[in-house]
Amino acid sequence: MYGFQLLLSEPSAGVLELSLIGEVDLANVEKLRAASQTAARSGDYTCLVFDLTRLGFIDSSGLHALAQARSLMVARGGTAKLVCAQDSLLKVFELTGLNQIFPIISTRDEAIAVAA
């Protein structure tokens, strides 16, 4: 079993970066769900940036947590973006159709720049 880490940072005003490291699955998704929903509901952020560059795997529970966070942000007039360049994860977003609702940006710096 691989571990999961979630690192939070505020690279600019109104932007929260959530860096997902390792693997997200049913056993550890609650950490992601709680942090992203709390941030979305707080009203402190206009954009959540999920950095997936160090994520090796995400199951359907993780995908659902990302989609829920995005929905909460959109309902409050905000947005959510994904940073992802790995072919395997990009394929998952394509197969599930999540690439149609999430802006997927290949680098962290670009995502932060467009989020600000």
Q: Give CA 74 to chain center in angstroms.
A: 14
**Nearest 5 degrees, angle CA 19-CA 42-CA 46?**
65
Give pLDDT, residue 62. 98
Q: Strands 4-12, 104-105: parallel, antiparallel or unpaired by DSSP?
A: unpaired
Alpha carbons 65 and 72: distance in angstroms, whole number: 11
Print the domain residue range for 31: 4-115
Task: Render pLDDT for 90-116 as a digit per residue (tens, 0 to 9).
Answer: 999 999 999 999 999 999 999 999 987
- The total domain count for the chain is 1
Q: What is the pTM of this model?
A: 0.96
Give pLDDT, residue 116. 77
DSSP structure string for 44-86: --SEEEEEEEEEEEE-HHHHHHHHHHHHHHHHTT-EEEEE---
Task: Render pLDDT for 41-89 as a digit per residue (tens, 0 to 9).
Answer: 999 999 999 999 999 999 999 999 999 999 999 999 999 999 999 999 9
The CATH number linked to 67 is 3.30.750.24
